[in-house]
């Protein structure tokens, strides 16, 4: 199986989506062991808790494995990793004689998820997209880039989370449109007013300009804590009690499940048994009680204030509330009906989009890496490989330049295909996607390598290895598609070929057999471009 993978690495949960060419959309990916299926509006979404646990025996537990083993509250478990990395936290933990930072934990977590997904989906040399928070600092982008490369994914792209959310929601996006992204996740509430940039305004590949943003330290974990406290109150217990301390981790997990259940049902029960005595504690919550609990903690007031701060910031830049095309709700806590009603009250029900709060960002990332974009242009350079007899080696001729528009009205390029050996019946064209990194490595390229003893040394990377890393042969599985009948002879110019791009972002050819004069291919799709 092949496909384009999108990854939304979140503070509390991570979601993956794979581009489905038949349905023309990104579809959630279930990662066995690491994630758990979640039903939203009769459609499954796979959620991977952003957790990693370092066991004393050297094993690592990832995502849902951590919760199943009731290790979420262990001092050997790393959570809220994204927040620590984004804030450049210097905090380390000493485990088994070594220091582990959240940066390293995040790399270990994402690498495990990426590699497991690639193996399970049988992805080979596919490009992946990773999402970047609004106005992320360069250190976070550099870290994310390093994670992808260390995991063995040299072909990757980055996309802003607001842009990915808009693509994932399938909104009819046009340059110049303004969106408000309401991201109520596990750790924080973040509101961003984002302008989709005009093509000529794009900087460093980023597609959104943030007009205003605001955030507050309230998220799904805060709501879990409040339910935890309410459970103790109803049972006349304190969190310092011995029996509560023994069941606190399981109790918090049950409170989280109750919160999720109350998004779709009127009632939810929390029941936990003491493993030593068998005595059970229980409490029932109704949706109205839950809403009252949120109100007592001024959740709705905080939502209103946070949105207003973001809107005021955008207004200072000349964009009023009326400029907002749509409000895109993302994050697990956006599932709560009373939260949705609060946002709808501010903007009107018709503007608020609620279809994909859990996986819109991952879906959008998958769509983006598959070639769906806000703009009708190609994202990469594409070239053909040919033998240069003067050099006695391969050279590359660029056919499609990054930024080329499609569909094309005239031929992009014309060339003649010659035979290379006697009696040749099958001729073809090798088409390569050209990586941007290689163009910056025209000089000497070196890398750090480690020998078996752990000693490091600097090693020069050979030019052919640089080339291999920077070029991807996109039609390697089917490079020959021109049939010569009768067979061609060495050096014979046999086919005249013209190239173009169709409305589906495919490189197409029209080929004419120079011996017979017949057109053998007309607007024949060769490869999909991105």
Identify whether the C-beta of residue 270 lies closer than 8 Å to the C-beta of residue 255. yes
Q: Examine residue 293 and state whether it is found in any structural domain, yes or no.
A: no
Of 241, 280, 242, 272, nearest to 255 (Cα)?
272
pLDDT at 529: 78
pLDDT at 187: 73
Of 378, 368, 374, nearest to 529 (Cα)?
378
Instruction: Please give the residue range of the domain that contains residue 172.
Output: 5-219+299-369
pLDDT > 50? residue 436: no
Q: How confident is the model at residue 445 (pLDDT cuts 50, 70, 90)?
A: very low
Q: Are residues 35 and 134 in the same domain?
A: yes
Q: Examine residue 104 and state whether it is found in any structural domain, yes or no.
A: yes
**Low-confidence winner among 329-333, 470-474, 525-529 (lowest mean pLDDT):** 470-474
Q: Are residues 509 and 411 in the same domain?
A: yes
pLDDT at 54: 95
3-state secondary structure of 301: helix
pLDDT at 127: 79
Q: Are residues 524 and 468 in the same domain?
A: yes
Q: How confident is the model at residue 206 (pLDDT cuts 50, 70, 90)?
A: very low
Q: What ranges in 281-424 are assigned the alpha helix state H?
A: 287-296, 299-315, 337-347, 360-369
pLDDT at 378: 72
3-state secondary structure of 104: helix
pLDDT > 90? residue 520: yes
CA distance 404 to 398: 12
Q: Examine residue 358 and state whether it is found in any structural domain, yes or no.
A: yes
pLDDT > 70? residue 453: no
Retrieve residue 19's tokens: 């581009």
pLDDT at 511: 94
CA 113 to chain centre: 12
CA atoms within 13 A on the CB side of 277: 10
pLDDT at 161: 82
**Low-confidence winner among 77-86, 243-252, 421-430 (lowest mean pLDDT):** 243-252
Taking only the tens place, the pLDDT of each residue in 212-229 is 888 887 888 889 889 989
Q: Are residues 47 and 140 in the same domain?
A: yes
Q: Are residues 36 and 100 in the same domain?
A: yes
Mean pLDDT estimate for the chain: 83
Number of domains in the chain: 2
Q: What percent of the chain has pLDDT over 90?
A: 34
Retrieve residue 52's tokens: 């990693």
pLDDT at 456: 35
Q: Are residues 411 and 327 in the same domain?
A: no
Q: Are residues 463 and 322 in the same domain?
A: no
Q: What is the mean pLDDT of residues 313-324?
A: 92
pLDDT > 90? residue 252: no
Q: What is the mean pLDDT of residues 486-495?
A: 92
What helix, strand, coil percent values describe the chain, rounded to 5? 30, 35, 35
Q: How confident is the model at residue 454 (pLDDT cuts 50, 70, 90)?
A: very low
Residue 69 belongs to domain with CATH number: 3.30.420.40
pLDDT at 259: 93
- Using the 3D structure, point to which of 340, 369, 398 is the last residue of a domain: 369
Strand (E) or helix (H) holding 322: none
Q: What is the mean pLDDT of residues 388-397?
A: 82
Report the 10 Å Cβ neighbour count for 64. 19
Q: Please give the angle made by the CA atoms of 439, 441 and 442, to the nearest 5 degrees.
A: 80
Q: Examine residue 227 and state whether it is found in any structural domain, yes or no.
A: no
pLDDT at 3: 63
Identify whether the C-beta of residue 209 lies closer than 8 Å to the C-beta of residue 176. no
pLDDT > 90? residue 337: yes
Q: How confident is the model at residue 43 (pLDDT cuts 50, 70, 90)?
A: confident
pTM over 0.75: no
**Low-confidence winner among 231-240, 270-279, 312-321 (lowest mean pLDDT):** 270-279
Q: Are residues 334 and 211 in the same domain?
A: yes
CA atoms within 13 A on the CB side of 259: 27
Of 367, 380, 438, nearest to 406 (Cα)?
380
Contacts 24+ apart (CB under 8 A), 149-153: 150/107, 150/111, 151/110, 151/111, 151/114, 151/115, 152/115, 153/114, 153/118, 153/128
pLDDT > 70? residue 435: no
Q: How confident is the model at residue 277 (pLDDT cuts 50, 70, 90)?
A: confident
pLDDT at 442: 40
- Using the 3D structure, point to which of 369, 400, 421 is the last residue of a domain: 369
pLDDT at 443: 39
Q: What is the mean pLDDT of residues 371-393?
A: 75
Taking only the tens place, the pLDDT of each residue in 350-374 is 999 988 888 999 998 998 888 776 5
Q: Are residues 333 and 412 in the same domain?
A: no
Residue 493 belongs to domain with CATH number: 2.60.34
DSSP per-residue letters across 395-435: EEEEEE-TT-BSS-SS-SEEEEEE--STTEEEEE-EEEEEP
CA distance 220 to 185: 6
Retrieve residue 446's tokens: 């070196």
Strand 52-54, strand 77-78: pairing: antiparallel
Taking only the tens place, the pLDDT of each residue in 112-157 is 998 888 888 877 667 788 988 765 666 788 898 888 888 888 778 8
CA distance 357 to 333: 9
- Using the 3D structure, point to which of 369, 399, 421 is the last residue of a domain: 369
Q: How confident is the model at residue 199 (pLDDT cuts 50, 70, 90)?
A: low
Q: For residue 431, what are the β-bridge partners?
A: 384
Report the 10 Å Cβ neighbour count for 188. 22
Strand (E) or helix (H) holding 376: none
Q: Are residues 335 and 396 in the same domain?
A: no
Taking only the tens place, the pLDDT of each residue in 395-434 is 888 988 876 777 888 888 898 999 988 999 999 899 988 7
CA distance 270 to 316: 47
Q: Are residues 399 and 496 in the same domain?
A: yes
Q: How confident is the model at residue 380 (pLDDT cuts 50, 70, 90)?
A: confident
Q: For residue 85, what are the β-bridge partners?
A: none
Highest mean predicted confidence (pLDDT) among 170-184, 187-201, 291-305, 495-509: 291-305
pLDDT at 8: 92
Looking at per-residue pLDDT, the higher value among 135 and 274 belongs to 274
Retrieve residue 148's tokens: 């992808």
pLDDT at 485: 92
Helix axes 299-315, 337-347, angle to 10 degrees: 30
Q: Are residues 12 and 109 in the same domain?
A: yes
Q: Examine residue 214 and state whether it is found in any structural domain, yes or no.
A: yes
Q: How confident is the model at residue 505 (pLDDT cuts 50, 70, 90)?
A: confident
């Amino acid at each position: 199986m092949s496909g384009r993978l999108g990854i939304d690495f979140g503070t509390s949960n991570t979601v993956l989506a794979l581009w489905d060419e038949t349905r023309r959309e990104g579809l959630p990916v279930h990662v066995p062991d690491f994630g758990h299926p979640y039903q939203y509006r009769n459609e499954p979404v796979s959620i991977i808790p952003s957790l990693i646990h370092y066991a004393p025996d050297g094993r690592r537990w990832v995502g849902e494995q951590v919760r199943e083993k009731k290790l979420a509250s262990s001092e050997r478990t790393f959570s809220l990793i994204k927040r620590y990395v984004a804030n450049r936290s210097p905090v380390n933990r000493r485990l088994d004689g070594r220091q582990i930072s959240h940066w390293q934990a995040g790399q270990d977590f994402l690498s495990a998820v990426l590699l497991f997904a690639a193996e399970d989906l049988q992805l080979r040399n596919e490009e992946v997209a990773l999402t970047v928070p609004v106005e992320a600092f360069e250190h976070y982008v550099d870290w994310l880039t390093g994670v992808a490369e260390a995991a063995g994914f040299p072909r990757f792209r980055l996309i802003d989370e607001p842009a990915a959310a808009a693509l994932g929601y399938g909104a009819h996006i046009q340059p110049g449109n303004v969106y408000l992204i309401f991201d109520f996740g596990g750790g924080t509430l973040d509101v961003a007013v984002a302008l989709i940039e005009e093509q000529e305004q794009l900087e460093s590949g980023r597609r959104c300009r943030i007009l205003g943003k605001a955030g507050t330290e309230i998220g799904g974990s805060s709501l879990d804590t409040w339910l935890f406290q309410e459970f103790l109150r109803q049972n006349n217990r304190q969190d310092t009690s011995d029996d509560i301390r023994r069941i606190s981790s399981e109790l918090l997990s049950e409170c989280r499940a109750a919160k999720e259940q109350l998004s779709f049902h009127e009632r939810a029960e929390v029941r936990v048994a003491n493993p030593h005595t068998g005595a059970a504690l229980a409490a029932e919550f109704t949706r109205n009680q839950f809403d009252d609990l949120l109100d007592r903690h001024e959740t709705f007031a905080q939502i209103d204030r946070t949105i207003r701060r973001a809107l005021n910031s955008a207004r200072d830049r000349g964009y009023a509330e009326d400029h907002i095309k749509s409000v895109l709700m993302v994050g697990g806590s956006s599932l709560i009906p009373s939260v949705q009603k609060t946002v709808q009250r501010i903007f009107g029900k018709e503007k608020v989009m609620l279809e994909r709060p859990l996986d819109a960002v991952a879906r959008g990332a998958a769509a983006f890496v598959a070639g769906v974009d806000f703009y009708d242009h190609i994202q990469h350079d594409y070239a053909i490989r040919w033998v240069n007899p003067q050099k006695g080696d391969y050279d590359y001729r660029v056919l499609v330049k990054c930024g080329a528009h499609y569909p094309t009205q005239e031929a992009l390029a014309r060339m003649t295909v010659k035979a290379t050996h006697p009696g040749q019946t099958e001729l073809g064209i090798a088409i390569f996607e050209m990586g941007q990194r290689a163009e910056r490595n025209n000089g000497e390229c070196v890398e750090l390598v480690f020998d078996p003893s752990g000693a490091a040394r600097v090693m020069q990377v050979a030019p052919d290895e640089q080339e291999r890393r920077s070029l991807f042969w996109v039609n390697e599985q089917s490079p020959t598609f021109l049939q010569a009948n009768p067979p061609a002879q060495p050096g014979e110019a046999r086919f005249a070929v013209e190239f173009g791009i169709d409305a589906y972002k495919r490189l197409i050819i029209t080929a004419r057999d120079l011996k017979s004069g017949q057109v053998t291919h007309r607007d024949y799709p060769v490869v999909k471009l991105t």
